[in-house]
Amino acid sequence: MDAIATHAERVAFHLTGRRGATVREAGTLRPALQARYRDVAALRHDYPVVLAASGDVAAVSLTSLVDAALARVATGGDGDRTRRQVLRVEHQIRVLVEHGAEGTLGELWGDAVQRLLPGRDASFADAARRARAAIAVDGPVVRCDPNLPHRLLEHAWQRAQTRKHAALRDRLVRLIQQLSDILRVDFEQSNAGRSAARLQASVGSGHQGLFDFDAMASLLATGAAHPPMADARRERIRRLLAVLDAQAFVALPDDGAARAAGSAVYDHRFESCTAALAAWNERQPRLVELARAIEVAELEIDGRYHAERHDALFAAYGASGLDAEVLSRFPDLLVCIDGTTLDADEQRKLMEILAGELPIKILYRVDDLLAAPEAKGTSPGLRCRQIAHMAMGLNQVYVLHAAASHLVACGARIDDAMRFAGPALFCVYTGASGATAGTSTYLAAAAAMESRAFPAFVYDPAGGADWASRFYLDGNPQAELDWPIHRFEYEDARHQRVSVDLAFTFADFAAADPRFAVELARLPAAADESDLVAVDEILLRGAGPLAERVPFVRMIDERDRLHAVVVDQRLLRKARGCREMWHSLQELGGVHNSHAERLLERERAAWEDAHAAAAAAAPVATAVVAAADSPETTTSPAPAAAEDTAPSRDDAYIETARCSTCNECTQINPKMFAYDANRQAYIADLKAGTYAQLVEAAESCQVSVIHPGKPLDPNEPGIAGLLERAEAFR
């Protein structure tokens, strides 16, 4: 078949999906860029992870732990050998975990070493032991499987709850203790507390015969009587204690009996938003009651509770809900839902939780991003993205949208989300759908992120006041580009190495899914590729006239042979949609932000205009020299300093701010001189004393801040001498 007919068949397939002789079914092909990732277990990557009970982040990758250990132990002459040996242990653990082994890092490490030990010398065991000792973290080891998001997020949530529980428990224990102390002291100071029977009970049984308790009680009764606590206050404290003891939000150390009686601590984990919301609404009154009891208890313990002021205040406490700061002290709820099977009612409850700013953390798990080509309705991945965008639009929801492969890198953000006082939404693609294509879940998830089909982004409402502070796109590879571009090398027909740059697009991601085989057509080996153009190129520059260029992707078969695969229009349209959604995320993240670029352009144009105008005016500029040196020019007015208006020299005044409160002037005449609110002197009533007293005060003033001015009465006796003395203070 000649080249023109071949080209016509390709165009026909691209436009209509109809296959000709030269375009075959795609078969079981994988994206060419995944050629090196056939066996994930052989590669060092972020999985498996160790779920750490303590430390900075909830999950640490085995790779990073081993690297940190190697930095400490693989030193000196044996460093290389130690490194190889420890990496072998790491690889063995990874293989064990990929094949379903479970356990803590310590257990799996021991197991791996035992399997590798036969045939190896003593240095191997020593290197493994030293490396293990250098790893301070231990915990369950988890691979990247469909359950990973649930386990990891639940673990992170549990860590955050443990901290909250401890803080709340300590606070409740302290309040109960101190309130009980108040009642106990009141009782012990009462007549009943000082009765003979009570005194006898407080002394050990060994020596009761030595004391006359009746005499002691009568002695105590004659002492100074302590006024008993008001009944209202006693009753209030008892009610507070009842509420604090009966609360069901955290377990207290001594409440085994109470729990056995049936009032169990609340479970805070749910499998649906409906159940979580129902539980929240049901617990809300008790939560308000407990929060109110805590506030009142704090005031009671400090002695600052005044019934006349606070009763009315606390009667209406929590009527309009509790603020985020108060709610942050109580445990959060965790809900794990499957986005693939989300119905309308559950979605409504989800939005109700997010819009209500309730402290509920929601894992929205998506196992399959793409809908089959013939399916109607929104694909699960798109619905997930819509929900994430709606949540961000509410402004008070922490949103984390990431593929499972990226969760380890998001460790700090996950912890932030768990500490966030309001609702948090974790949208996670597990990569489970990759299994249908024979790909590991990790690879499928990573491919989704790489191809922008499920990009990573975070919206943190507590990050700052603007989008630049709240929205993050970090973690996405080459976020400034439409698609990440990687160098790809292959061997051509003449056994020469060829190196090209390939973009990993949405079309590459979808091409790995067998459901999209109908939208792909494989070209024969060694077919002419002159009319083919890469998908990223065609989306960027357009196809040109319809008949000229046909989009394609590079794929490999099970024997790693390279194939060119034509993409039909439906898949190209989906890739274009993915690209546009990525562009909108880029704008939000400040990458190629169109507003910023337009502003920059305007500013640049303005600057260039101003620069051009200045350049045009420069040759004819006349020197206009300011006549500052000219003697006849008056000096410009002094800059407005923060000068207080100086009082007249004839007025009596005190520089009050400099008064050192020495009592000299107030001792002379307490009616003429008085202290202000800061106990610094001022002239209160000039007519309350004589000019002589004013001058005497000025002379006595330690810091010379009294200025007598001119006398009110010029006929005062000895005025001449007084004026002379006062001159020093004018």
Binding site for other proteins (CB under 8 A): 173-174, 177, 207, 210, 295, 299, 306, 309-310, 313, 317, 323-326, 461-462, 465, 641-642, 644, 657-664, 667, 677-680, 700, 702-704
Q: How far is it, in rounded angstroms, from Cα 266 to Cα 218?
A: 51
CB 701, min distance to other proteins, A = 9
Note if the bond before 48 is cis, omega within 30 degrees.
yes
- Say which residues have a Cβ less than 8 Å from residue 459's Cβ, sequence separation at least 6: 391, 392, 397, 398, 399, 470, 471, 472
CB 74, min distance to other proteins, A = 36
Nearer to other proteins (CB atom), residue 520 or residue 665: 665
CB 417, min distance to other proteins, A = 16
Nearer to other proteins (CB atom), residue 315 or residue 620: 315
Nearer to other proteins (CB atom), residue 122 or residue 642: 642
> Hey, what amino acid is at 88?
R
- Say which residues have a Cβ less than 8 Å from residue 581's Cβ, sequence separation at least 6: 385, 452
Of 641, 646, 680, 678, the closest CA to residue 660 belongs to 680
Q: How far is it, in rounded angstroms, from Cα 683 to Cα 666?
A: 10
CB 465, min distance to other proteins, A = 7
Nearer to other proteins (CB atom), residue 272 or residue 663: 663
Helix (H, G, I), strand (E, B) or coil at 410: coil
Instruction: Say which residue the tokens 């379903």 belong to.
Output: 100
CB 15, min distance to other proteins, A = 54
Q: How far is it, in rounded angstroms, from Cα 462 to Cα 398?
A: 8
Nearer to other proteins (CB atom), residue 302 or residue 489: 302
Nearer to other proteins (CB atom), residue 467 or residue 488: 467
- What distances in angstroms separate CA 340 from CA 17, 264, 277, 334, 614, one per listed residue? 28, 34, 20, 19, 64
Nearer to other proteins (CB atom), residue 119 or residue 204: 204
Instruction: Say which residue the tokens 């003033």 belong to.
Output: 701
Nearer to other proteins (CB atom), residue 632 or residue 644: 644
Which pair of tokens denotes residue 712?
């009110």
Q: What value, to the nearest 5°, has the Cα angle with vertex 123 and ends 120 and 128?
A: 90
Q: How far is it, in rounded angstroms, from Cα 182 to Cα 334?
A: 38
CB 203, min distance to other proteins, A = 13
CB 219, min distance to other proteins, A = 22
Nearer to other proteins (CB atom), residue 281 or residue 702: 702
CB 660, min distance to other proteins, A = 4
Which pair of tokens denotes residue 215?
């005499």
Q: What value, to the nearest 5°, has the Cα angle with vertex 704 and ends 702 and 707?
A: 140
Q: How far is it, in rounded angstroms, from Cα 55 to Cα 49?
A: 14
Burial of 403 (0-12, 13-18, 19+ CB in 10 A): buried
Nearer to other proteins (CB atom), residue 323 or residue 474: 323
CB 181, min distance to other proteins, A = 9
Q: How many CB atoms lie under 10 A from the CB of residue 620? A: 6
CB 642, min distance to other proteins, A = 4
Nearer to other proteins (CB atom), residue 615 or residue 646: 646
CB 326, min distance to other proteins, A = 6
CB 401, min distance to other proteins, A = 22
CB 324, min distance to other proteins, A = 8
Q: Which stretches does DSSP call E strand in 390-519?
A: 398-403, 424-429, 457-459, 471-472, 485-491, 497-503
Nearer to other proteins (CB atom), residue 111 or residue 245: 245
Check residue 492 and report its DSSP letter.
Answer: -
DSSP string, 182-250: HHHHHHHTSTTTTSHHHHHHHS-GGGGGG--HHHHHHHHHHSPPPPPPPHHHHHHHHHHHHHHHH--SS
CB 232, min distance to other proteins, A = 18
Nearer to other proteins (CB atom), residue 621 or residue 640: 640
Which pair of tokens denotes residue 149?
């998001």
Q: How far is it, in rounded angstroms, from Cα 94 to Cα 516?
A: 32
Q: b/e string for 713-728 if b means 16 or more Cβ within 10 A? A: eeeeeeeeebbebbee
- Is residue 334 within 8 Å of 308, Cβ to Cβ? no
Q: How far is it, in rounded angstroms, from Cα 260 to Cα 536?
A: 65
Nearer to other proteins (CB atom), residue 626 or residue 642: 642
